[in-house]
Amino acid sequence: MKGNGASAGWVLVTGASAGIGRELAAAFAARAHDLILTARNEEALAALARDLVARHAVKAKTMPADLSLPGAAEAMAEALAEAGVAIEILVNNAGVTFEGDFARISLADHLRLSQVNIVALTSLSRLLLPPMIARGHGRILNVASIAGFMPVPRLAAYAASKAYVLSLTEGLSEELRGTGVTATALCPGLTDTAMVRSSELGKPIPATMIKSPKEVAEAGCAACLAGETVCVPGLANLAITSGAPLLPRSVVRAIGGAMTGGGWDWIASALRAGGFSRDRSAR
């Protein structure tokens, strides 16, 4: 698919070198958006940029950065301002996770997770949002997770960070009413990425509960452009997240425990029994 020569504006995608981030970049490129791609892997970014330019006739620039380093987000925003690049859509996709008991994960890893998943996302949002409001148009797409709807043992800090992302996005969505700017939280469930494939938690996972990065990205891109606040791709995931606020907290904790304790078959069976066996994107 080739672009028509008219750009729909610049999109900044963090964590763009692989997985959902890579597919989000492709989804926006297919809709004629020019791209600023950032991640730590400079070679992967350069290859992606070449591919998107060739396939969609858009502009694509790379900005290698390590968002686990304090000040990285500020440096990125400063560089964009100096280059005169106005970001129309900010996609906060970069994220890390560490599996295991909270007390066994190193403090350094906990702090790195907080820096990437919370601090960098907050910084970029705060720095790039005012110009959007001043222009009267713009979008923020924050990649959260269904883990943000419930505590998840052995992924405790990760789930907590995604709960922050979800809450921040929903709060921003209300604040931004009438400004022409919107905020969307993309909350995927299990997705066929390197992170999930290398995980030992919750295996075996029923295939019906795993979505492809492209499916997740397409749903998130469409929701972002439509100005939706929360996007949960997949009916099974939507059933879990919609039911969580209505259940006693003890039950919600049990569901989170089942997710990382080999309980995926139990969850899938419960959903089938409740008539949720057909999986489709839902926003």
Q: How far is CA 185 from CA 46, 167, 205, in A?
A: 27, 9, 24
The one-letter amino acid code at 124 reads L
Helices 264-273 and 235-243: crossing angle, nearest 10°? 90
Helices 156-175 and 121-135: crossing angle, nearest 10°? 10
Question: Which one of 10, 28, 149, 158 is the catalytic residue?
Answer: 158
CA 156 and chain centroid, separation: 18
Cα atoms in the 13 Å half-sphere on the side-chain side of 197: 7
Distant-in-sequence, close-in-space partners of 195: CB < 8 Å, separation ≥ 6: 19, 97
What is the edge-to-edge ordering of all strands in the sheet holding 138-143? 60-62, 34-38, 10-14, 87-92, 138-143, 181-186, 230-231
CA distance 125 to 143: 13
Distant-in-sequence, close-in-space partners of 127: CB < 8 Å, separation ≥ 6: 73, 74, 77
164 counts as catalytic = no
By annotation, the residues acting in catalysis are: 158
